[in-house]
A and B are shown apart, each in its own frame.
Chain A
Amino acid sequence: QKEVEQNSGPLSVPEGAIASLNCTYSDRVSQSFFWYRQYSGKSPELIMSIYSNGDKEDGRFTAQLNKASQYVSLLIRDSQPSDSATYLCAVNMFSGGYNKLIFGAGTRLAVHP
């Protein structure tokens, strides 16, 4: 089982719809979770972090965390063509005495007008 799993997509949604991106992880004791957005040819940009069970909202973005199910998701409301990018889920895991981020392979989102 991969440590952090995401559906590679592409996830295609119409402009104005809600895009739902999902991520599962293997380490039960992980405590911090991140969503990064990566446009083609650019670097990953941190857009959301979540540390507690439940929802965290920031503008059009909502991150949801369920530690019991080892599941984290990102909802993008009122999707825009500019949201088209690859979204990387990252989970902080404690290994060898240190924290390190383990990334999923990313979900490609395409928002069409």
Chain B
Amino acid sequence: DTAVSQTPKYLVTQMGNDKSIKCEQNLGHDTMYWYKQDSKKFLKIMFSYNNKELIINETVPNRFSPKSPDKAHLNLHINSLELGDSAVYFCASSPSGSYNEQFFGPGTRLTVL
């Protein structure tokens, strides 16, 4: 199946812990994204990588660090988790070009206790 996949699907952890979320796409796209969707369902971009290069870095605490080992993978590491980090995190990808049609992964629901 061609798709954007994420692991894990659910993540429950204690405040102060460090956790990672992984994303992979086999669509051959050049650009990948991390989005955060909060409890009010508002979807906001956090980071974007194009061919392993960071191109968008929105106002996100530096406890969040993305890493792209190759253009098919984009991981998100979060240090010192806080209650406010609880949300659903979506990975997305898009092909090259100016239209920016994006396709989303299934999401990772992070709960910080």
Contacts and interface: CB of A to CB of B under 8 A. Distances in A.
Main secondary structure of the interface of B (DSSP, over half): loop
Interface residues of A, number: 25
A98 B41 contact: no
A54 B94 CA distance: 25
Main secondary structure of the interface of A (DSSP, over half): strand
Contacts of B41: 38, 86, 105-106
| Interface residue range, chain B | 20 to 34
A92 B33 CA distance: 14
Interface stretch (B12-20, B68-76, B104-112): B104-112
A105 B56 contact: no
A99 B97 CA distance: 10
Contacts of A90: 102
Interface in B30-62: 40-45, 48, 55-56
**Residue from the set B43, B90, B103, B104 with the largest chain A CB neighbour count within 10 Å:** B43
A17 interface: no
B103 A46 contact: yes
Contacts of B55: 97-98
A25 interface: no
A101 B104 contact: no
Given A44-B90, A105-B40, A92 B100 contact: yes
B100 A32 contact: yes
A91 B95 CA distance: 16
Contact of B56 (A43, A49, A98): A98
Contacts of B42: 103, 105
Interface of A: 31-32, 34, 36, 38, 42-46, 49, 51, 86, 88, 90, 92, 96-101, 103, 105-106
Interface of B: 40-45, 48, 55-56, 90, 98-107
- 6 smallest beta-carbon distances between A and B, as pairs: A43-B104, A103-B43, A92-B100, A99-B100, A32-B99, A44-B104
